[in-house]
Amino acid sequence: MSLSSSDLLHVILALGTLMLFAHAVGQAFAALRQPRVIGEIVGGLLLGPTVFGVISPDLQARVFPAHGATASIVGAVSQLGLLLLMYCSGIETRAIFRRGDERAVSRITLAGTLVPFGLGLLLVQIVNTHSLTGSAHSRMALVLVFALAIAVTSVPVISRIMFDLGVLHTSFARVVLGVAIVEDTVVYVVLAVALGLVAAASGGEIGIASAVGLSPGTAAYMAVHTAATLSFFAAMLLLGPRLLRWSVRSRLAGVWKSNPVAYQLLFLLLATLACVALGVTAMFGAFLAGIVTSSARGTTAAAARGAIKDFSFAFFIPVYFAAVGLQLDLVHHFDPLFFLWFTAFACVAKSLSVYVGSRLAGETHASSTNFAIAMNARGGPGIVLATVALGAGIINTQFYASLILLVIVSSQAAGAWLGRLIRTGRPLRDEPAPIAVLDEATAAVAGS
């Protein structure tokens, strides 16, 4: 169905305004050596009910209506932005990870992930979370999201912070990014399970668990869905690179040679379709597709990945982050008291766990403190966690607002702490000898 001239005008106005504010405020934050992604969210916040809606509620509702063609198309573009963000995150996972510092990475990962996740599971049993539940009314899914919010760490944001500060070449950066990569993968696996628990209940009766007649929320449904998620994860990591290499050498090689960008995007779409067919969230397929396509070698493959990233970060991903801020309503759907104690608990639990893991790995007090504060930055994964959980009805707008503000506060704190250390000339990590500089691919990833 084609859009009327009036609808088309409104769609272009809404998308153009979101893109403009995302880039303008994001660039302003970057100039201040703050995470660009936070500025993009703030740009959307300015356009939402928190600021624009207070100044001129009628005009804000006309530019960004809650229903109709404009709302649907902006939502679709935002969802494509999420898929491309996950795809680019998968590419970064493969590009950043390097061997070395296994002792520090493994122990910080175990302590910094399992402990805060466990503390989150414990806390959700103690406090009353009924007021945080979304329209799906899934207690188990809410528990998983609540615990993930305590444990999550961001690869894109912390890597960009260290790139801007000129410390991406250090062993401190390598350890932080190595731990964050493993944590992000675990987060997306668990989030995929949580989303699957509410999919059939919200009308998404697709997947193995639904096909065999299991009811959402039951132990059998959760077991089958978890098995499907983990099986797809293992199959993509083990067989995905081989499938990609085979397809490049097959009759499809003509498509690869004529337009490798289209070929990689087709692989992304097929991976997301496979996830949907299994009842697994589509964003998980996009994340794994990024990991798999990053295994393709050669300048052609690298150039195609770069082209996808350039366009994604020029339009789709900034619009997605601006839409995150656009949904924030700090006037009507925000509980300051809950935000304060939840943020304090999340930051203390995460930081102390990372500190203990660092000390167990033999790091000094100063180095362990720096690791603890740096890895408290939640960034992109925290935003993805909040937005998809809200969209699936797992959490409500009150909890969503607190999660997004937690991302902003923790990311800003990490950037400010590391920046102060750099300005005073103190080392981020005490080490006996210099470590080899990370390769240029890592710097390019953080710069995107």
For 268-327, the pLDDT digits (tens) are 998 888 887 877 777 778 888 888 888 888 888 888 888 998 999 899 999 998 998 998
User: What is the mean pLDDT of the segment spanning 158-174?
Assistant: 70
Q: Are 11 and 73 in contact (CB under 8 A)?
A: yes
CB contact at 8 A, 412 and 38? yes
CB of 418 closer than 8 Å to CB of 369 = no
Predicted local confidence at residue 155, as pLDDT: 60
Q: What is the pLDDT of residues 188-226, one digit of tens each?
A: 778 877 877 776 444 445 566 666 666 665 667 667 777
Residue 71 has pLDDT above 70, yes or no: yes
| Residue at token pair 């509702």 | 61
* Residues 399, 19, 445, 85, CA torsion sign: positive
What is d(CA 207, CA 280) in angstroms, rounded to the nearest whole number?
Answer: 7
Mean pLDDT of the chain: 82
Residue 151 burial by CB count (10 A; 0-12/13-18/19+): exposed, middle or buried?
Answer: buried
CA dihedral 69, 73, 74, 77 (to 10 degrees): 180
Mean pLDDT value across residues 325-353: 92
Q: Which fold has domain 99-296+335-447?
A: Na+/H+ antiporter like fold (1.20.1530)
Task: Say if residue 141's pLDDT is above 60.
Answer: yes
Can you tell me whether residue 330 is helix, strand or coil?
coil
Closest to 154 (Cα-Cα) out of 123, 190, 185, 195: 185
Give the residue from 18, 27, 100, 17 showing the smallest Cα distance to 433.
100
